[in-house]
Structure 1
Amino acid sequence: MESYPLPARTLVEKMSREAAADTGRAIAFQGAPGANSHLAALGYRPDCLPLPCFSFEDALDAVREGQADRAIIPIENSLHGRVADMHFLLPESGLSIVDEYFLPIHHCLMAPDDSPVSQVLSHVQALGQCRKYLRAQGITPVVYADTAGAAALVAEQKEAGVGAIAPALAADLYGLTIVARDIEDSHDNMTRFVVLAREAIVPRHDGPVMTTFLFEVKNIPAALFKALGGFATNGVNMTKLESYQRGASFSATEFYADIEGMPGDPAVDRALDELRFHTKWVRLLGSYPQARARTPA
């Protein structure tokens, strides 16, 4: 609790008490009250009890330990790409992806008053999404743990020339002045969130379904080509494929992938069987309803 700036602590304590009284409605998110993840929790389930957690690990632990029924975690942004560490944290959490949610992201520059801002605090993702605006205004970016936490810290310190980038909700919660609205570099800025639970859920077949999984290729020529061939030959659409390294050996690469469809679909089963044959291991993270179409109509 002490990790939050003082203006956020009272809100965190209140929201934590409410979530503890009805864990079935609690959705854990990373950040201080007023963060984009807070907005995502409310947008995903308006009647939920959002549970603020200081780190991504804390949010995942809250679900694993029964303090919340779900966690909503940002996985990627349309402007700034992958959210750091998610590819490592999700499989280590032991949780399953049961849903996804897309949130339009609109950033505000806020400060204790309307004086000129020369330095701004925010999460690295928000700073990256407002890079052109900050450069044009000559404002120095400073990385902070999360957007709303930065707003709470600015409200606490009231330092001249120092502002924060956060959602408008944070300005309302912490009594800050909005200096500029919609400062993101692209107004179609969108973040994709995944919703995690302790147990996997089999999605209903009344709409498109996504499946997320990880795999590690063998250290041989054409390893990735061989591993992915089954998806092409079986007509399974892969909508996302990202590589990352684990450890310092650089001897093999791990991949994060999304496909349309789910285990139980014959084409998906054949593609996954071929993937397993050509890789060291495959780990399914979950199947869930598709919240936004990937394939053009």
Structure 2
Amino acid sequence: MPQRSGSAEDTAKISYQGEPGANSHLAAREAFPDLEAIAYPTFEDAIAAVKNGDARYAMIPIENSVAGRVADIHHLLPDANLYIVAEHFLRVRHQLMAKPGASLATIKRVMSHTQALGQCRVTLRKLGIAPVPGADTAGSARLVAESDDLTTAAIASRLAAEIYGLQILKSDMEDETHNTTRFVVLAKEPDDAEPGNGPVITTFIFRVRNLPAALYKALGGFATNGVNMTKLESYQEEGTFNATMFFADIDGHPVNRSVQLALEELSFFSTQTKILGTYPASPFRKEAAELAASGQVPLKRPG
């Protein structure tokens, strides 16, 4: 993780979206244990905290191995005018929690963020518990703690159970054991990884020209120059169905000749390109690839 000097005001804090006990809170504490993690109600607010100098970094979830991309993030990042300086992968473990005195027999419904509910869908069906979408995981835990209802539970982190005084009725109830969320760390100034100092990820967005096979031609330079593209997603903007933007990750640093050539070819067939950050690849990537290659990554829980 980056370690850069700054004012006492901003170096002491890292912002995240949600409430205390959220998975973003866990990620911030795990990646930056020496910084104070500050909760903000929206992603926009967490990003604005960095832009305004109220926080040094923002810890923002971008995708989950089960539920896919986090909504709205692809629209927020390009216009945030911040830079990705690191990534962090958090193994997500969902706990079913309720007020003291409740039990699995008394629980009829469970509140949580829609993604958390989706990641526990099979387990909830087996338990016969109805899902009720909430604003977020930790916020749902707080609402359950503030209620006297012993028929309603929440799905949140173990930290949330500790913060709000709830008892865990079922541990690690996510359907798939590889459930992992990828976060990006945003900063006001770029802190590009040094070339030749280990694996590097470069993240960028682009919009292709309105030409036949433009996307095919734009991506051709990565293949011919041997640059590995690890992520490519499209999303719509401006309320139209033809202004398609693409969000991409590649292995490599823009100073590398092969990456330079690939990006040059991309720009020739694109109307817009913007690099959002060049940063060290998380060790999790190598570990996950090695486990997958050896067949040691269970995709689903048995039963």
Q: Do they fold alike, i.e. is TM over 0.5?
A: yes
In structure 2, C-alpha distance between the alignment counterparts of 1:46 and 1:95, rounded to whole Å: 22
The alignment covers a number of residue pairs equal to 278
Candidates 280, 283, 288, aligned match of 1:289: 280
Contact 2:9 2:53 in 1 (8 A): no
**Shift in Å at residue 21 of structure 1?**
7.3
In the alignment, the residues of structure 1 paired with residue 80 and residue 289 of structure 2 have an alpha-carbon distance, to the nearest angstrom, of: 33
Structure 2's unaligned 5+ residue stretches are 1-6, 291-303
Q: Following TM superposition, by how much is the alpha carbon of 1:207 offset from its aligned partner in structure 2, in angstroms?
A: 0.6
Q: Does residue 201 of the first structure (1) align with residue 156 of the second (2)?
A: no
Could you tell me which residue of structure 1 aligns to residue 13 of structure 2? 26
Aligned partner of 1:13 in structure 2 is none
Deviations 1:240-296 (A, max 9, x none): 001111133212321110000121111111101110000111111101000033695
Match of 2:60 in 1: 73
Aligned counterparts of 2:47 and 2:275: Cα–Cα separation in 1: 17
Looking at structure 2, the residues matched to 248 and 41 of structure 1 have their Cα atoms a distance apart, in angstroms, of 33
The letter of the residue matching 1:153 is L
Please state whether the residue corresponding to 2:285 is helix, strand or coil.
coil
Task: Check whether the contact 2:96–2:169 (CA below 8 A) recurs between aligned residues.
Answer: yes
Structure 2 counterpart of 1:55? 42
Distance 1:49 1:293 in 2: 27
CA distance in 2, matches of 1:228, 1:21: 44
* 1:128 alignment partner in structure 2: 118
1:37 to 2:27 alignment = no
CA contact (8 A) 1:71 1:196 kept: yes
Distance 1:180 1:28 in 2: 30
Among 151, 160, 166, the residue aligned to 1:170: 160
Tell me the distance in 1 between the aligned counterparts of 2:258 and 2:99.
57
The CA distance in 1 between the partners of 2:121 and 2:127, in whole Å, is: 10
| 2:50–2:57 Cα contact (<8 Å) kept | yes
Is the Cα–Cα contact under 8 Å of residues 204 and 273 in structure 2 kept in the other structure? yes
CA deviation string 1:39-91 (max 9, x = no partner): 10111011111011111111001111011000011111111110101100111
- Paired residues of 2:9 and 2:54 also in contact (CA < 8 A): no
The structure 1 residue matched to 2:245, chosen from 245, 249, 254, is 254
Q: Does 1:157 align with 2:147?
A: yes
Contact 1:96 1:198 in 2 (8 A): yes
Segments ≥4 residues shifted beyond 6 Å: none
* Residue number in structure 2 paired with 1:5: none
- Quote the Cα distance in structure 2 between the aligned partners of 1:176 and 1:293: 34
Equivalence for 2:224: 233
**Bigger mean CA offset, 44-53 vs 155-164:** 155-164
Match of 1:183 among 173, 177, 183: 173
Q: What is the identity percentage for the equivalent residue pairs of Structure 1 and Structure 2?
A: 54
Q: Using structure 2 for the length normalisation, give the TM-score.
A: 0.88
Matches for 1:272-287 after TM superposition, within 5 Å: 272-287=263-278
Separation of aligned partners in 2, 1:226 and 1:288 = 27
Deviations 1:114-148 (A, max 9, x none): 33211111112111111111122222212222111
Query: 1:1-25: CA deviations, max 9, x gaps?
Result: xxxxxxxxxxxxxxxxxxx974312
For the Cα contact (< 8 Å) 2:200–2:281, is it kept in 1? yes
Instruction: Give the corresponding residue for 2:95.
Output: 108
Task: Choose from 133, 139, 148 the match for 2:129.
Answer: 139
